[in-house]
Each structure stands twice: as structure tokens, then as C-alpha cells.
Amino acid sequence: MARVRLAGETAGFVELSAPATAGNNTLTLPTGNGSASQVLTTDGSGVLSWTTPQVIIAIDGGNFDNGSSTVSTTTVFDGGDFGS
């Protein structure tokens, strides 16, 4: 397995490891750093870009004590602050 290891400025490292597969796999990194809360996505052919997730569904509570799967509260976020 081939590896690329980047040493940290003072300690530690980041390592990328290639899986043991036949053929080649090229990933093209985006030119910028992205913004807060963005994630890397691929176009299916290895070109990566930063994307803001469109919908996050958080399920609060629910009644699972007696075998029921009834959900009491559902909150939908559209890419905003997930902390509140």
C-alpha cells in the first residue's frame, strides 16, 4: 500500500493511503479552502469541490420504550446553524 505522509509543523502528521486495488484513481482537489460547514463532494469522475449540505434532518425525542417507532419532534435545517 502506497502512502503519502505530511509532517505537522510541530508534531503529528496527516497520512493518505492508497487502497490495494487494480487500476488508477485520481482525485483533483479544489483550488480554494471552502467555507465553514462545507464538505468535499465528487462529480463521480474524481473532481472534488466544496459543497454546502442542503438539508439536515434532526430527530428530537421519540417514543421507543414500548416498541413504537413514533417520532415526537422533527426539525429540518437548511444549511444554517445546527447548534441551536
pLDDT of residue 26: 86
Q: What's the rounded Cα separation, in Å, for the pair 68 and 65?
A: 7
Percent of the chain at pLDDT > 70 equals 63
Q: What's the rounded Cα separation, in Å, for the pair 79 and 73?
A: 19
Percent of the chain at pLDDT > 90 equals 35
Q: What's the rounded Cα separation, in Å, for the pair 69 and 53?
A: 27
Helix (H, G, I), strand (E, B) or coil at 21: coil
Q: What is the pTM of this model?
A: 0.50
Q: What's the rounded Cα separation, in Å, for the pair 45 and 37?
A: 23
pLDDT of residue 66 exceeding 80, the answer is no
21-50 pLDDT, tens digit per residue, is 778 888 899 999 999 989 999 999 999 999
pLDDT of residue 71 exceeding 80, the answer is no
Q: What's the rounded Cα separation, in Å, for the pair 11 and 15?
A: 13
